[in-house]
Chain A
Amino acid sequence: MPRARKSKSEPRATPSKTVAASEAREAPRRETPTSADAPRAPLEEGLELWTRFARETGETVTEFLRRFGEEQQKNYESWSTSLADVTRPAMRDRGTQEVQTRLEEWNRRAEEIGTRVRDAFQTALEPQKELLDAWVKPFLPKEATPQDKAREATELVQKLYTGLTTNLSRRLFETLQPGRGVEDLVRAQEESLKEFSDSFQKLTQLYFTSPAFVSMFGKTLDASLDLQKAVKEGDDVFSKITGFPSRREITELNQAVKDLSAKVSRLNTGRA
């Protein structure tokens, strides 16, 4: 994180497995496995990572998120003030330089926020390694290292964030400069949407056709079928125990009665 840390313990530049592994090597060998050697549950692992994050940054995650929210609010206020100035006709000429300066400041701060969001996600998403791997796998060659995957995932998040908010807002904002009309704004909005739409199409094309997604799709579908089957069997068991007809049987009977009525009605019409 690009800010001063109030670390209570010794900060570690890379609080990674490397350190843990070297500590493990130095520790005396144990004959029997202890709970520390047993495979960690993802939840435990996640909690530990969150704790480590808090220790290193000197604040809790909740605090970080709250502060992040406050900064977002400030940015929004700054942006809305600038927007109000630009759109107020009386300000259009004399406020140009001031507005431009504010715009640049806002852009700078938005980019800074983007970087920090990326950092925060990198730390926060680390516990979800498996999910992350599955998500980014389609974008990467098979030989990608875990670091490549993590970087790609966090950059994607950042790209989405900046793509959806910063870049779009910037472009719209620029069209609100003096001398430019609503037509420019509408055009910029259309162009942004088209750009986003094209990128989205490319992304879905890449993602939906990737072997990793296809594999995930098949497995998820298979699992959901098992679930449906279990629910259906539960329904059948209930009907066997209680003697009540199952929902399916009721539907079938209702439909058969309806069909029969329609047939009789047709026959009667024919006779008449």
Chain B
Amino acid sequence: MPETITRNSHLSVIESGIAPPAITLQDVVFERQGKALVDGLNLTLTANGTTVLMGPNGAGKSLTLRLMAGLIAPGQGKIRWNGVETVPSQRVALVFQKPVLLRRSVRANLTHALKTYGVPRSAQPQRLEELLKMGNLTELADRPARVLSGGEQQRVAMVRALAARPKLLLLDEPTASLDPQATAAIESLIRTAAAGGAKVLLVTHDPGQGQRLADEIVFLNHGRVTEVTGASQFFDAPRSREARTYLSGHLLF
């Protein structure tokens, strides 16, 4: 579906010609038990801004995210990160709906991440303090991470991802089980990451969140990209019938 890619040429980041495609999926197919869950997906993500991945359950959003993180390999098709087929894992960070925190203190969780991401030992203490402050976690630094509230745990997971200074930040419904206040805190961290130059790709079921954060919307259905549209246009007048149906609250089959 190459026209999908050309269709989003109205986006300023592409028109300017400055930002090269950071990540390209070409005819990607991912099957499980003989069923194509991602079915010939074509998508080019620009290097900047926040792209929100929307679509009904089972559309292949989470799988697309995992393909982009290099956690699973496509059965067919190609994925390129800045033109090469190897995932630059140290600059790609992933946050899950249910935060996976190590059985350690908040501080030790972040130190572990800094070490894993190859931050020099001498720079670690300062980066650690920055991250704690960014996540409003300084008070909680020495608490065991897994006794914190859901919102606090997700803040730890977010700043841990930011410890990578990621070029690509992949977020799989990070606020799906959070209350509005905790959601606002996570969204603020997402904005900080995007402002810092990270490409953000966010999966969400919340159209409001899409409107608040997205520069562009990618709408998926049945493992394919249905449309790629600038955010304001998407919510005013989505082009595809599937997206119109989804936004109007009807069920998609």
Q: Do A and B bind each other?
A: no
